[in-house]
Structures are given as C-alpha cells and as structure tokens.
Amino acid sequence: MKQIIVLATRNKGKTREIRELLKGFPIDIKNLDDFGPIPEVIEDGETFDDNAYKKASFTAKILGYPAMADDSGLCVEALDGAPGVYSARYAGKNATDADNVNKMLDELQGKENRNAAFKCVISIAVPTGAALTYEGECKGVITKEAFGDNGFGYDPLFFYPELNKTFAQLTIQEKGRVSHRGKALKEIADEIDKIIEWIDIIMPKFQPAEYKEDKS
C-alpha cells in the first residue's frame, strides 16, 4: 500500500511541481483541497525553516497523516533579501501573482544589481511533531519585464542564465531539474525509502484500551 503524505498547501502551482517530481515513488500525495475545511496555519515565522515546519507539523497534527510543507520565496540582493518569507504577500495580503510581479518591477526600476535567488525549505512532519528538513536554492537574475506563461509566482521575472530563459519559459520538467524546489525534492527522492521507513517507525500507533467482558 502507498504511504499517504498530505501536502500542506492549496497552491496549485506548487502541488503540480511536487507531484510531478515525486511521481513514480510509493507515496500517494494529497493536498489540503482533498480534505474538508480545516483551520488555516498562521505563517508568522521569520525564516523559511520556521514556516515550513509550522505548516507541516500543524497539518500532520490536525489530519493525523504525515504532512509535507514547502516554504519558499524570492530573495533579491538589491532589496536586502526581500521579499523572502513575505514573497506571497509582497504587494499586500490578497496580492495576486501579477500584483507581486508588478511591484517587483517597480521596486527594481533603475537598479543595476538584479541578482536574486529562489530559496526553498521542505519539512516532512508526523503528528507528534518530529520532522525532517530539506533545502534547495537557485540563483538567477530579475528581468526588466515579464517573459513566458508557464509556472507561477515570480517565474516570468526569474531569468536563469544557464538556460538563457526565465523560469516561465521552461517546461515543468526543465524547471524541476534546476529550481530551488527541484533540488530539495531531489534530496527527498534520493532517500525516499529511508523517509518511508522513518514515517512507519515514528507514526503513532493507536492501541485502544483493553476492557473486561461483562459476564453478568
């Protein structure tokens, strides 16, 4: 039987990439949309690490399954590492990808240094709170206008020099080979057997209380 792991996200772009990169392994990847309404986790950590662990452990505790969470974002040199953990809400609480892209272009107007890095931390947690952590990083350059229609988030602005394209001009497979998330998932894929064994050992096994037969 396949091990169920719940992805602690409703982000369709992330779910698609993670499912694609972990296909073929004996795991059944669900996401939050496969369950009924559940409380939202508050992402108030100061690092990708904090937020990834918060999302994974909260989801595992609430649903009783092992959970995997990705916390990721774009760190731009000329903005002192911003938006970083605030990447999803850079242009405001309910910002769309287009709002964030436009704000980034505005903030970098006239700036010479356009170096940036996507960072990703993936946490795999079980309901007791025990967790494993994986990381990945990818360096690139922020373009002066958007190019490409694939991917999500800041992909149309993230130029990857080695392939001479933005992430939004790559296929999901091409992006997965070089991206921050792809690198973290490669580490997971490389030790998936050990991870499944770890989950099996560490998942709480519920033993109902014994009772005496009523002989009256």
The H helix count followed by the E strand count for the chain is 6, 7
Q: How far is the CB of 135 from ligand IMP (least distance, A)?
A: 13
Q: Does 166 bind ligand IMP (CB under 6 A)?
A: no
Beta carbon nearer to ligand IMP, 71 or 123: 71
Q: At what angle do helices 12-21 and 180-190 cross, to 10 degrees?
A: 40
Residue range at the interface with ligand IMP (CB under 6 A); choices 22-30, 70-78, 106-114, 203-211: 70-78
Tokens 């004996």 -> residue: 26
At its nearest, how many Å lie between ligand IMP and the CB of residue 17? 7
Q: Which is nearer to ligand IMP, 3 or 9 (CB)?
A: 9
Among 22, 41, 78, 88, binds ligand IMP (CB under 6 A): 88
Q: 3-state DSSP call for residue 90?
A: coil
User: Is 50 tagged catalytic?
Assistant: no
User: Rounded to the nearest 5°, which phi and psi values hold at 13?
Assistant: -65, -45
Which of 6, 56, 67, 73 binds ligand IMP (CB under 6 A)? It is 73
- Active-site choice (33, 71, 97, 155): 71
Site for ligand IMP in 119-148 (CB under 6 A): none
Q: Interface with ligand IMP includes 198 (CB under 6 A)? A: no
Q: Please give the residue whose beta carbon sits closest to ligand IMP in the complex.
A: 153
C-beta of 163 vs 203, nearer to ligand IMP: 163
Dihedral sign of CA atoms 164, 168, 170, 175 in order: positive
Of the pair 3, 138, the CB lying nearest ligand IMP is at 138
The three-class DSSP label of residue 9 is coil
Q: Report the interhelical angle of 192-202 vs 180-190 (nearest 10°).
A: 70
- For the beta sheet containing 115-125, the strands, ordered from the edge strand earlier in sequence to the opposite edge, are 27-31, 3-7, 67-76, 115-125, 131-142, 158-160, 165-166
Cα separation, 198 vs 209, whole angstroms? 26
Which residues here bind ligand IMP, judged by CB under 6 A?
11, 43, 71-74, 87-88, 100, 118, 151-155, 167, 179, 181
Q: Would you name the residues annotated as active-site residues?
A: 71
